Amino acid sequence: MAVDVPIVIIGGGVIGCAVAWELSRDSDGIFLFEKNPGITTGENQTSRNSGVIHSGIYYDQETRPLKASLCVKGNSLLYDFCTRYKVPALKTGKLIVATDQKEDEVLDFYLERARENGVARVEKISGSRVRSMEPNVKACSALLIPSTGIIDPVSFVYRLHTLALQNGVEFLTGTDVNQLEVYGDAIKMGVSYSDKKRDQVKAGLVINAGGIEADNLARLINPLLPYELDYVRGETYKFYGHKRPELRLAGMNVYPTPTAVVTPYGRHFTLGVHLTPTFESLSYPPTIGSTITVGPKLVPAESRKAWSGPSVKPEVFVEAVHSFFPGIRKEDLIWHQSGLQARLKKEPDFVIMQDPKAENFINLLGIDSPGLTAAPAIAGRVKAMVKDLL
């Protein structure tokens, strides 16, 4: 069967762009279809996240093995990429703080998990050491995780995009994929463009990196797939440190002790509302600024289009952080952003799989946090799958 294009990637968020760049280093004939008007314009998870380079400490090997391994691997690949291509990123380190004895015991559990997952140089430190690092943070003990950091996600995607372009990837923005069908050895795709014109494209191989739409796209090819989006969004406020200099943070990521939450779809842990440093400016090398983000708080979303906010009042955020960041008031918090997560019902891990009926259709489902961190490692994994198919 003659195909129009060898490889199509659906979705130009960080995952689609990372896959495009990774594949373009060895392959030609790659097209990326993105429904937003531009790669760094429009709503998606990549433009609405916290910009934290996670260490990989949270995910257990039993229920989240892919998140565990791809986050740890992605963490070091991401720092290497950012150094090589001058993307603003800083290894700030992170504190997971305990405010009482019960939380202190939970830290031991995560210290063990750090060892299981191969997260390097994590140690438990005393409350006085926490104060020497972050004088305005209150804790009786903490886990110190040196490999956590921050990145500017938009600069990262922009760099991936330009590198992929240089390697010959064709980016078709304003291109919405709305029909998919197995067509002999190919995948037939119905697309509509921003000028409302429609077209059909036959692709030899399709990679579904559609973020919060990936489950819908997967079901167009295979209605029996069990994966379904869990409508959740993260809401975030920000705190201008220069307005309350007595409360300024030195520049570390500060997280509460994780707690377990029971949802209709099973038991999840939650990272909790946390404090994330931001850059002063995006010049290179970047420096830490005085603004921090406070959040995200995960709340149910009414639809896949619920990008704007807020739905939760600042008091709730103050309440969530006051035990370890006392002194913050509701009038200190300014609305920052909300972002829908590609979290799946019933499946807590990333799902990276060829469709059982069409091996040339690769699904990337449930790529919620830590997808930004894991992006380079996810791209490497997809490349290995593609190599076996070509």
Shortest Å, Cβ 53 to ligand FAD: 7
Q: Select the residue interacting with ligand FAD from 8, 27, 51, 258 (CB under 6 A).
A: 51
Residue 35: Cβ within 10 Å count: 22
Q: x-or-dash pattern for ligand FAD, window 342-381, by CB under 6 A?
A: -------------------------xxxxxxx--------
Q: Of residues 211, 277, 309, 376, which one binds ligand FAD by CB under 6 A?
A: 211
Q: Is 61 exposed, middle or buried (0-12, 13-18, 19+ CB in 10 A)?
A: exposed
Q: Which is nearer to ligand FAD, 208 or 360 (by Cβ)?
A: 208
Q: x/- site string to ligand FAD, residues 228 to 267, per CB under 6 A?
A: ------x---------------------------------
Q: Is 50 in the site for ligand FAD (CB under 6 A)?
A: yes
CA–CA dist 65, 388 (Å, integer): 22
Residue 318 · residue 333 · CB < 8 Å: yes
Any contact of residue 3 with ligand FAD (CB under 6 A)?
no
CA distance 272 to 260: 10
Residue 366 to residue 383: CA distance in whole angstroms: 19
DSSP state of 229: B
**Total interface residues for ligand FAD by CB under 6 A:** 40
State which of positions 55-114 bind ligand FAD (CB under 6 A).
none
Number of other CB atoms surrounding residue 383 within 10 Å: 15
**Bridge-based pairing state of the strands 52-53 and 30-34:** unpaired
User: Using the rule CB under 6 A, is 212 a contact of ligand FAD?
Assistant: yes
Report the number of secondary-structure helices (H) and strands (E) in the chain. 8, 21
Stretch that binds ligand FAD, among 8-16, 86-94, 95-103, 124-132 (CB under 6 A): 8-16
3-class state of residue 33 by DSSP: strand
Binding piece for ligand FAD, criterion CB under 6 A, among 11-19, 93-101, 160-168, 300-308:
11-19
- In order of 108, 268, 284, the CA distances from 215 in angstroms are 36, 20, 37
Q: Interface with ligand FAD by CB under 6 A: which residues?
A: 10-16, 33-36, 44-46, 48-52, 54, 176-177, 209-213, 217, 234, 296, 339-341, 367-373
